[in-house]
Structure 1
Amino acid sequence: MINITERHQFIINKVQKEGYVNVLDLCKALDVSSVTIRKDLKLLEDKNLLFRTHGGATVNNPYMTDRPVNEKEKLQSAEKMRIGAAAAKLIQPNDSIVIASGTTVLALAKSLQPRESLTVITSALNVALELLRHKDIEILQLGGVLRKSSSSVVGPYSEHILNDFFCSTFFLGVDGIDLEFGLTTTNSMEAHLNRQMIANSQKTVVLADSTKFGKRGFGKICALEEIDQVITDTGISDHTARALESMGVKVTIV
Structure 2
Amino acid sequence: MTTTTLLDGKVALVTGGSRGIGAATALRLAADGADVAVTWQQDAEQAATVVKRIEATGRRALALRADNADPTALREAVDRTAGELGRLDILVNNAAVFLVGAVDEFDAADLDRTIAVNVRAPFVAAQAATRHLGAGGRIISIGSNVAERTVFPGLAAYAMSKSALVGMTKGLARDLGPRGVTVNLVVPGPTDTDANPADGPNAGTIRGFTALGRYASPDEVAATVAHLAGPDAGYVTGATITVDGGFTV
Structure of higher CA gyration radius: 1
TM-score (norm 1): 0.41
TM-score (norm 2): 0.41
Q: Which structure has more strand as a fraction of its residues?
A: 1
Where relative contact order (Cα < 8 A, 6+ residues apart) is larger, the structure is: 2
